[in-house]
Amino acid sequence: MSALEVGQVIATTTYALSRDTLVRYAGASGDFNPIHYRDDVAASVGLPGVLAHGMLTMGTAVQPVVDWLEGSGDDSGVLGWVSSYQVKFTRPVVVDPVEGAEISVVATIADLDDEARTARVDLTVTHAEKTVLGRAQVVVTLA
């Protein structure tokens, strides 16, 4: 834990989503709500377009932390594991039929608890330069 500091950025990455991504996620999750694949249905309920599934956005956003935990350990194994994860959905991710969408994630150490061997990682998750997940916080237990 001594190598970690509050304010330290541990990951910055961008993920591309396409309509194909949404179809694959729908099949994996069983969420076939047509707002995730049909423009006409999305428009009929007042949405700006087809939306990425909230859980797809949430799951994608935590991936840089998982990658950091798995790739930052010494020869004995991983650095730690995700103990808890919470977000507030603030804006939808609209997935254009041609251009798709990009989700950008910045993961920053926000708090360290040496006694409990935990760190809180705050995620800044944006799409089209707007925050899409608020209060996105990951608590990791360090090995």
Closest by CA to 56, choosing from 138, 132, 121, 139, is 132
Over the chain, what is the mean pLDDT? 95
Q: H-type helices in the chain, by residue range? A: 19-29, 39-44, 54-71
Residue type, 38: R
Please give the residue that has the higher pLDDT: either 29 or 78.
29
Classify residue 128 as left (phi > 0), alpha (psi -120 to 50) or beta: left
pLDDT at position 74 over 70: no
pLDDT at position 73 is 53
What pTM was estimated for this model as a whole?
A: 0.91
Superfamily in which the 9-17+53-142 domain is placed by CATH: Hotdog Thioesterase (3.10.129.10)
Sorting pLDDT into bands at 50, 70 and 90, what band is 77? low
What pLDDT does residue 123 have?
98
Percent of the chain residues past pLDDT 70, beyond the cut: 94
Say what the pLDDT of residue 78 is.
81
Distance CA 63, CA 45 (A): 31
Q: What is the pLDDT of residue 122?
A: 98
Phi, psi of 62 (to 5 degrees): -85, -15
Summarize the confidence of residues 44-64 as an average pLDDT. Answer: 98
